[in-house]
A and B are shown apart, each in its own frame.
Chain A
């Protein structure tokens, strides 16, 4: 099977049936290793054991942005190439991205209360991530509100690309403004500033969560293709009954 074959929804479904069990297995193994390493990681000299929240907060925060990036690529596929799988990919990714963003916000809050003394602060990083979460919800509402799938796809693609402007704002908010949130400590010029004892479990968890996203996304895309097949068969049934 070549890459171009995946453009065909039926061939994509065949591939999903083959790869999903392997992806699910690899995800489970990586997350278990990551959780073990997170449990065994030493306490931070300032944060104490609270540093363990970072091992789930940071991967979710990265994925919150990464998923919107994936949706933006899919939006280009919808608007420029009108690819049938592009809207399927974007629509299937949105609830998963919303869940990661929600988890980033809540675990960040749970870390902030003991470390900053507050669950929430209206600073640039926290506010821009909250806006990202609201945009995910808005996008999901838009897909549900517009009945014609092709019109919904185009409207959602435009909104997704407009929303992508928020991604650099989130990334650089800690540099552009004076925020309570600490600056980047992994993806930064000069390399990571984290000690290996924290960096390795964090990277294993990040790869594990990324594989989790790929697994859930492919499974959700399979469901969306089947949902569209149901819709087209229902329309055929209605036209047969009307004739």
Chain B
């Protein structure tokens, strides 16, 4: 597969899309872990939900 004289534009486009999609995935995964950790801390400090279920219950 030859990308011709404008290969750098094509490779940059695909690399940038891959990088931004990866950043979105990692950011969402880190945010999920962070929220679960905060819920665990709150639960450990004795705060409970009105329903009585565990804060980290999904």
B-binding residues in A (CB < 8 A): 10, 13-14, 16-17, 39-40, 43, 48-50, 52-53, 56-57, 60, 95-96, 99, 102-103, 106-107, 110-111, 113-114, 212, 216, 219-220, 222-223, 226-227, 229-230, 233-234, 236-237, 240
The main secondary structure of chain A at its interface with chain B is helix
Given A96-B24, A223-B28; 9 other pairs, CB 8 A cutoff: A49-B3, A50-B6, A50-B9, A53-B9, A95-B24, A106-B16, A114-B9, A216-B24, A220-B31
When the two chains form their complex, are residues B55 and A229 in contact, meaning their CB atoms are under 8 A apart? yes
Q: Which of B15-39 contact A (CB under 8 A)?
A: 16-17, 20-21, 23-25, 28-29, 31-32, 35-36, 38-39
Residues in B with CB closer than 8 Å to A40 are 1
| Bound: A14/B35 CA distance, A | 16
Cβ of B32 to closest chain A Cβ, rounded Å: 5
Residues in B with CB closer than 8 Å to A222 are 32, 58
| Bound: A39/B14 CA distance, A | 11
29 A-B pairs in the complex with CB atoms less than 8 angstroms apart? A10-B53, A10-B57, A17-B58, A43-B4, A49-B2, A49-B3, A50-B4, A53-B9, A56-B13, A57-B13, A99-B20, A99-B23, A99-B24, A102-B20, A103-B16, A107-B13, A114-B6, A212-B21, A216-B24, A219-B28, A219-B29, A220-B28, A222-B32, A223-B31, A223-B32, A226-B35, A229-B39, A233-B55, A237-B47
Asked if A113 meets B28 with Cβ closer than 8 Å, knowing A49-B3, A226-B39, the reply is no
| Bound: A110/B28 CA distance, A | 28
Asked if A111 meets B9 with Cβ closer than 8 Å, knowing A223-B32, A226-B35, the reply is yes
How many residues of B are in contact with the other chain, CB < 8 A?
35
Residues in A with CB closer than 8 Å to B5 are 48, 114
